[in-house]
Amino acid sequence: MMKTSYYVACHTKCKCTPEEYEIESEKLKELFTLILTDPDKIHAMTHTEDLTSVHSELQVSHDSAGLVGKCVVDIEAPVRVSLDKGRLSVFLKANSNWPAMRVEKKGVFSD
């Protein structure tokens, strides 16, 4: 079994008050959950159905540019799996109200 890991950051560029942060951070958590728990979306982003597991860890914070979601996605499969940044960006943008969002993706490490 091979584990492929990716770091994904979603920069919403949405600056929040402390009150707005509570609401907007929940929306961002729900957005990642919606995309990373949907088998069709996972298949579209990895271009394979031959996956053993997909695990993610998400941290939401607010920096000088606004609300940010930072996520590590671990994908286990018989072979190395790529994560399509274009499709990931489309899914994140299509399911949110942050039009200025910027998505960053990097390979982290593989077993």
Q: What is the pLDDT of residue 110?
A: 57
Of the options 3.30.70, 1.10.1760, 3.40.1620, 3.90.550, the CATH number for the domain spanning 2-110: 3.30.70
Where along the chain do its domains lie?
2-110
CA–CA separation, 75 and 67 (whole Å): 26
pLDDT: is 110 or 46 the higher one? Answer: 46
**Mean pLDDT across 14-37:** 96
Inter-residue contact 10 to 67 (CB < 8 Å): no
* Total residues belonging to the chain: 111
The pTM (predicted TM-score) of the whole model is 0.91
At 111, is the pLDDT very low, low, confident or very high (cuts 50, 70, 90)? low
- pLDDT, tens digit, for every residue of 51-72? 999 999 999 999 999 999 999 9
Output the pLDDT for position 4. 94
Rounded to the nearest integer, the mean pLDDT of the chain is 94
> What distance in Å separates the CA atoms of residue 54 and residue 20, rounded to the nearest whole number?
31
- The predicted model gives 9-34 an average pLDDT of 96
